[in-house]
Every structure is written in C-alpha cells, then in structure tokens.
Amino acid sequence: ARLRPYQETGYAWLKYMGSIGFGACIADDMGLGKTVQVLAYLEKMREEKKNAKVLLVVPASLLANWKKESEKFAPEIDINILHGRPAAELNQNLKKEKAFLTVTTYGMISRLEALKDTIWDCIILDEAQAIKNPVTKQTREIKGLKGKMKIAMTGTPIENDLTNLWSLFDFLNKGMLGSSGEFKAFCRTLGDSPDGYARLKSIVAPFMLRRVKTDKNIISDLPEKIEKIDYTELSKKQTVLYRKTVKELEEKIETLSGIERRGTVLATIMKLKQICNHPDQYLGQKEFSAADSGKFGMLREICETVHEKRERVLVFTQFKEIAQPLADYMEEIFGVKGYVLHGGTPVSKRGEIVEAFQGEKYVPFIVLSVKAGGTGLNLTNANHVIHFDRWWNPAVENQATDRAFRIGQKKDVMVHKLVCSSTIEEKIDAIIESKKELAENVIGSGGENWITEMSNKELMSILKLG
C-alpha cells in the first residue's frame, strides 16, 4: 500500500510521539485509515527494535478485520490472537508465545492475568471509546496494564461528555488532566468565557491527531454524504398505543421523584421508540404486518429504489429483537436474502458476513444493531444507510454511517433517518439539530439520560403527540 499524504503525516506523528515518550490519540474520522497508519508505525517498530512486544485490544467484532489488514499491509508482523479458547489455556499460551503483536478483546482483559505481567513496548486500544467510563471494571483493568508507549484509536474521542476525554487521557498520559475531581472542577469554568473550550482544546491538541473527511484538503476523492430526515405518520394502531403509554406516564409521574422517576421516564421512552418502530415490537408479537407501521412503509419506498438500481443498503436499529423481522420484510422487497448482524452474532460469522457483502455476488442488505455494527466494519459496497430508529447521539449515529462512508467508497452515500411525525422522535430530533454544533465540538448528547432531567411540564410536551 502507498500511504496517502495525510496518512504519512499520521505515521510520522505516531513515531515522534513514541520517541518523546508521550501517549497519542489518533482520532481521525471513521474511514480515513487509522488502522493502516498504526500498522505502518508497528512495522517500523518491528524493523528497528528486536524482541519488541505490542498489545492490541479491540472489540470482538474487529478481530478478523485486524488479521486481514495486517496480512495485507504488514505481512512480516507475526500475530498471536488471544480469543475463543479457555482463559487458562490462553494465559499459558501468552507465557510461551513470543509474537511481536498480541491481539485480544476488551472482554478478555480481566481474564488474562498474564497480560499484566508483561511490560509492553506499546499498548494500542482500537475503538478506545470502550474506556470512556472511568469507573467500570473494564476501564480499570486496561489502565492497570504496563506500557512504554500508548495509542488510542477512536473516531469519537468525546461520545457523551467531557468525562470520556478525561478517561482517555488518564490512560494515555496519566495525570496530564489532573484527577477526575480536578478535571470536573476545571470543566465547570469553561462556559464562563468565550475562549473556555478553546483553552481545553489547546491542552489536548498536541496529543490528539484529528482529521475529518469533509475537509477537502485532507481527502478530495471521497464522494459526498447526503443526509435526509424521512418523516412518516403513525398507523392507527401505533397512535392508540402511543397515546395510552403517554397517558399512563402522565398519571404516574406526579407521585415519583429521584431514581424512581428517572427509571420510569427511561422505560417509557423505550416503549415509545418501540411503538414508533412497530406495534408488534412493543407488544412482543411476531406478525409484523407492514400496514401497522409507518416506518415499514417508508422502508419499502426507499428499498424499492435501491433494488431498482441494484445497489446495497445498511439498516441500523438499536433493538436486537426487531433485526430479524426487518430482514424478513426486506427479503420480500428484494427477493434475495440479506444478513443480520448484532451482539449475538459469533465473531467468525461477522467476518463471513462482511466478506460476502463486500464480494461480487449481489447481497442487497445487512440489518445491524448500532452497538455491534456501529464500529470498525468496512462495508463500502453499500451506498445507502437507513437509521430505522434513532440513537439520539450524533457521534454514535455518524460512527454507524461511516461503515459505508469511508475510503474505498466510490459513490455518494445517501443517509436516511426515519422519524415519526409529531412524536417524541420529531421533537428530540429538533432539539439535537439545534445543539448539533456544540454536541459535535465538545458535549455530545449522551443517549436519553438528559431527557429525564426535564421538568414534568417539559417532559409531557415532548412526549405527547403534537
């Protein structure tokens, strides 16, 4: 492979950061080639440093991707993958094996005690937003590993709030942003002056390389991404269930407070999202008649156009239980089977799905859960992306979209976001759009939790049908 100019810059920057002893966050937009830049750095380390040992931690869904990419771009690198066998066997394997690159998953870290006994020349975290929450056991285990150089790879260094950024830097360069309490106190002062967030940016910028695909100075040959909100009406059945659910909350909420109120609000939001998707999802039924859901009608409209052009589409949902009914419905539209990929899909099967979808044979669609399919996968044979339901976090939605909008994409990418008119979906979308610049720059919208902090009056105004 020949590195693009901005990728050469990234490789040189990683080398420089390693030489002066600082951890580095490569935070390029999804699809700009973070993997190939890191592999170039590792290949140089392998050449220059005899017996070097590198640890790479990835989500399980990316094991096959890293294996293929390293075989393609850096075939001299020998890899030891620690996954898919009993922990005792893997611990023994690690003590004997002398591979340059050891690859494991976030889920295996706490079970592989032998990892903690090694001083690694470099520790790399792919999809490093996995350590965004500083108090989880997984994050603490990873921060307990010993490494001379540390690299975090993430397209979303701030996914929900600034605590994510602190946790990332606590791994990369411990102490640089102070303790968690000191950093929170510092963040409270940022809104007091126009240059508040600029101060924070100036502190972290030297340790974070961030390039975006929309910058034509970075990459001029990537097609356009066109985003569109597709509004759809609720069916009669959806309307009845929606009103009933809101009424039940309105009666309960006056007597609730604290954690009980928050829990009830979140549960209701989840029910309303399910009703907006399809009444049968909410009711736990299996029929999924297209006539009962406005979104199913809109999905048919979009997919019939995709079918006519013999193009391919990715459909994202946050609900595992509706993935298969969506795939069954789309099979009717296309007359051909597609795939379903969610948290329950085995790692080996994920690799097969990606390979088949990226192959010559026409596979028209994949239905993916946002969590399982929203990171790392390269699915550039699709040039349509549909967000069947909304995550209400721009960073997470963009990350999912970037399965298709990345290097290797030859066509313009059409992104459809399905929204039920007059419902909570339309009202939350309006709120996010109004705050999008702030969300993308620093804050992020943090899932649904912020909605629970609204007053009863504000809450009912966004939940009730407009």
Q: What is the pLDDT along the chain (466 residues), one digit of tens a residue?
A: 789 999 999 999 999 999 999 999 999 887 788 999 999 999 999 999 989 999 999 988 678 778 888 988 999 999 999 988 898 999 888 888 889 999 999 999 999 988 998 999 999 999 898 898 899 999 999 999 999 999 999 877 776 678 889 999 999 999 999 999 999 888 888 776 667 777 888 888 899 998 887 787 887 777 788 888 888 989 999 999 999 999 999 999 888 888 999 999 999 999 999 999 999 999 999 999 999 999 999 999 899 989 988 999 999 999 999 999 999 999 999 999 999 999 888 888 888 999 999 999 999 999 998 877 666 688 989 999 999 998 877 777 888 888 888 878 888 888 999 999 899 999 888 877 765 554 444 433 345 666 787 888 888 998 998 7
Residue 435 Rama label (left phi>0; alpha psi -120 to 50; beta):
alpha
CA end-to-end distance (rounded Å), the chain: 54
Q: What is the pLDDT of residue 436?
A: 56
Phi and psi, residue 232, nearest 5°: -135, 150
CB within 8 A of 385, min separation 6: which ones?
Answer: 313, 314, 316, 400, 401, 403, 404, 405, 413, 414, 415, 416
SS3 content of the chain, % helix, strand, coil (to 5): 50, 15, 35
Closest CA relative to residue 224, chosen from 216, 233, 232: 216
Closest CA relative to residue 364, chosen from 347, 349, 348, 386: 386
CA distances from 203 to 14, 16, 165, 199, 295 (A): 18, 18, 12, 7, 45
Sheet of 365-369, strands arranged across: 225-232, 413-420, 384-387, 313-317, 365-369, 339-341
Query: Which tokens hold the place of 105?
Result: 């998953």
2-8: long-range contacts at Cβ-Cβ below 8 A with a sequence spacing of 24 or more?
3/36, 3/37, 3/40, 4/33, 4/219, 6/32, 6/211, 6/218, 6/219, 7/32, 7/33, 7/36, 7/37, 7/40
Q: 3-state DSSP call for residue 340?
A: strand
Q: 3-state DSSP call for residue 111?
A: helix
Tell how far CA 262 is from the center of its chain. Answer: 25
DSSP class per residue in 252-289: HHTT--HHHHHHHHHHHHHHHHHHHH-HHHHHT-S---
Query: Which tokens hold the place of 295?
Result: 């979104």
Apex CA 438: angle with CA 435 and CA 443, to 5°?
110
Q: What is the pLDDT of residue 348?
A: 82
Phi and psi, residue 152, nearest 5°: -110, 130
Instruction: Give the whole-angstrom CA distance, residue 15 versus residue 89.
Output: 35
Instruction: Give the whole-angstrom CA distance, residue 337 versus residue 360.
Output: 15
Apex CA 379: angle with CA 405 and CA 416, to 5°?
55
CA distances from 123 to 3, 36, 119, 344 (A): 23, 16, 9, 28
Sheet of 101-105, strands arranged across: 79-82, 101-105, 54-58, 119-126, 146-153, 24-26, 208-209
Rg, Å, the chain Cα set: 23
Closest CA relative to residue 276, chosen from 63, 170, 418: 418
Tell how far CA 145 is from the center of its chain. Answer: 24
Apex CA 302: angle with CA 372 and CA 330, to 5°?
55
Q: 3-state DSSP call for residue 247?
A: helix
- The length of the chain in residues reads 466
Residue matched to tokens 């001299």:
76
DSSP class per residue in 225-240: EEEEEEEEPPPHHHHH
